[in-house]
Amino acid sequence: MQEQKMQVLQGTVKKLLRRGATSNLKKVFGKIHPADIAHLFRYFNLKEQKTLLYLIPEITIAADVFAELESDSWTKLAELLDKDYLISLVQQMADDDSAELIRNLPADLAEQILDKLHGEQSEDVEQLLGYAEDTAGGIMSTDVFSLDQELTVRQAIEALQNAEDYEMVFYVYVTDEHNHLVGVLSLRQLLNVAAATPLSKIMSTDVLRVRSDMDQEEVAVLVAKYNILAIPVVDEHGKLMGLITVDDVIDVMRDEATEDMLRMAGTSEDELLLGYKSFQIARLRLPWLLTTLFGGVITGSLMWYYRATLEQVIVLITFIPVITGMGGNVGGQTSTIIVRGFATGRIEFSMLRQIFFKELRVGLIMGAVCGTVISAVAVFWHQNLYLGLVVGIAMVVAISVAACMGVLATSFFKKVGIDPAIASSPFVQTVNDITGILIYFSTATLFIKHLI
């Protein structure tokens, strides 16, 4: 239903834009949520996006729309906008969104925008720019609502009633006189105690928090694990620096998942930004293709090593693609599950022993089923019981080894600090091809006299 609505809206906006009906477009944009306007922008080129952005009736709404756009399109669109208009947009955006935009702009343009920001906003944005982009400090908002622990409940409620400048208040964070985070309160707690009660008497001192230098992916895992709507950010001394809300965490999880999927495919998000630049895109993909190519050479060398066996029993060539293909598929499935487990925090190194033996059992079961099927096919096709036995044994062992390799390789790369999403898929595929051929021809060599 929502998709149909967006298609109708897209068609309407295109017609109005083509006719130059600016007043009608302004009325349309005045009734649409900023997120829906941002969604519409992806169907228009940059020049059309620029025109549409200028037609949004209020600068605050335009800033919300601009903040909702994909970050990779920010820079291109920002460079087309009038400089004063761009500065007005940045001034209306949340500090964390402003910092992310400025971080991705050309240095001269970023400096000009920073010079135009004033007062507290300028300080907050510069502070956020001091953190690495993929850390808690880089994605936090500095607009965090906090109260001194000496205040009473009545004073806290009065402060909440005047907290219009804060984007979202999910929890009340309590600090001491030096701004150290010492406690947290839910809004419900404030309504259920006597008005004269000091906050220090009712606050929970067990506050889930993150350091400003923590990786954003670890932050997302914590928020998902504990099902919280926001998490405070502190510095190395425990001082409250900012807040990460659930909407920022959703963006992080989406971006990290996209990054992992692209890397497992042997590419990266940079490829999306390069458009139709063929040589640059090829340069991004080639390292992983060369890894597979190297593995193919080793596989070919093994087949050459067992050429005597292959020459005597040429029928063995029939099942080479089956053995290598099944091993590669199983290894790929296992490595994908382990990569995902590490990314979401559901798998830790302390669990690897248990996971390894679980995957070994799964591999044995799948190997037994597939081995039985392919063994029956081999006997029926070539009328040779021993050929069926060789193929069946090779299939069981190859699938079991592939399942185990998916766990071991992925865990190894994670342990040594190499992103398993990048390295595990081509490595596991290559190793399983090699081991599959080795197992198949070794088994065939043992039974060679019964196969001739």
Q: Which residue has the higher pLDDT, 230 or 167?
A: 230
Amino acid at 23: S
pLDDT for the residue 149: 92
Q: Give the span between the Cα atoms of 30 and 38, in whole angstroms.
A: 13
Closest CA relative to residue 88, chosen from 109, 52, 116, 121: 116
Each as own residue / partner, the long-range contacts of residues 97-104 (CB below 8 Å, 24 or more positions apart, any chain) are 97/67, 98/125, 99/125, 99/128, 99/129, 99/138, 100/71, 100/133, 100/138, 100/139, 101/74, 102/129, 103/129, 103/133, 104/71, 104/74, 104/75
Give the pLDDT band (50/70/90) at residue 271. Answer: very low
Q: Is residue 158 located within the same domain as residue 203?
A: yes
Q: Is residue 125 located within the same domain as residue 166?
A: no
Q: Is residue 284 located within the same domain as residue 358?
A: yes
Q: Is residue 276 located within the same domain as residue 404?
A: yes
Residue that finishes a domain, picked among 105, 133, 161 = 133
Closest CA relative to residue 210, chosen from 249, 178, 263: 249
Find the range with the poorest average confidence among 10-19, 104-113, 195-204, 250-259: 250-259
- Per the CB < 8 A criterion, the answer to whether 43 and 67 are in contact is no
- First-residue to last-residue Cα distance in the chain: 65
Q: Give the span between the Cα atoms of 296 and 212, in whole angstroms.
A: 45
pLDDT at 384 over 70: yes
- CATH number for 222: 3.10.580.10
Closest CA relative to residue 329, chosen from 401, 377, 399, 408: 399
- Per the CB < 8 A criterion, the answer to whether 169 and 159 are in contact is no
Determine, yes or no, domain membership for 6: yes
Asked whether the CA dihedral 359, 329, 295, 377 is positive or negative, the reply is: positive
Q: Is residue 324 located within the same domain as residue 391?
A: yes
Q: Give the span between the Cα atoms of 134 and 280, in whole angstroms.
A: 24
Determine, yes or no, domain membership for 158: yes
> On the CB side of 174, how many CA atoms lie within 13 Å of its CA?
24
pLDDT for the residue 1: 54
Give the pLDDT band (50/70/90) at residue 31. Answer: confident
pLDDT at 273 over 50: no
Closest CA relative to residue 400, chosen from 366, 351, 442: 366
pLDDT for the residue 420: 73
Mean pLDDT of 279-283: 65
pLDDT at 61 over 80: yes
Q: Is residue 242 located within the same domain as residue 275?
A: no
- CATH number for 126: 1.25.60.10
Q: Is residue 28 located within the same domain as residue 97?
A: yes
Q: Is residue 366 located within the same domain as residue 415?
A: yes
Q: Give the span between the Cα atoms of 12 and 15, in whole angstroms.
A: 5
Each as own residue / partner, the long-range contacts of residues 101-110 (CB below 8 Å, 24 or more positions apart, any chain) are 101/74, 102/129, 103/129, 103/133, 104/71, 104/74, 104/75, 105/75, 105/78, 105/79, 106/75, 106/79, 109/78, 109/79, 109/83
For 395-409, the pLDDT digits (tens) are 998 899 888 988 888
Total number of domains in the chain:
3
Residue 71 domain boundaries: 2-133
pLDDT at 211 over 90: yes
Q: Is residue 304 located within the same domain as residue 441?
A: yes
Question: What are the backbone dihedrals phi and psi of residue 346, each rounded to the nearest 5 degrees, phi first?
Answer: -80, -15
For the chain, the 3-state helix, strand and coil shares in percent, each to the nearest 5, are 70, 10, 20
Determine, yes or no, domain membership for 138: no
Residue 163 pairs in a beta bridge with none
Q: Is residue 173 located within the same domain as residue 233?
A: yes
> On the CB side of 63, how many CA atoms lie within 13 Å of its CA?
17
Q: Is residue 128 located within the same domain as residue 150?
A: no
pLDDT for the residue 281: 59
- Per the CB < 8 A criterion, the answer to whether 438 and 405 are in contact is no
Which residue's structure tokens are 């009734």? 31
Determine, yes or no, domain membership for 141: no
Q: What percentage of residues in the chain have a pLDDT greater than 70?
A: 88
Report the range out of 226-230, 266-270, 291-295, 310-314 with the highest average pLDDT.
226-230
Residue 148 pairs in a beta bridge with 175
Which residue's structure tokens are 């010079």? 115
- CATH number for 364: 1.10.357.20
**Two tokens at 283?**
């340069």
CA 246 to chain centre: 15
pLDDT for the residue 48: 87
Closest CA relative to residue 235, chosen from 150, 98, 135: 135
Determine, yes or no, domain membership for 301: yes
Residue that finishes a domain, picked among 133, 157, 176 = 133
Q: Is residue 227 located within the same domain as residue 317?
A: no
Residue that finishes a domain, picked among 229, 254, 279 = 254
Mean pLDDT of 132-161: 87
Q: Give the span between the Cα atoms of 333 and 200, in whole angstroms.
A: 52
Amino acid at 24: N
- This prediction has a pTM of 0.62
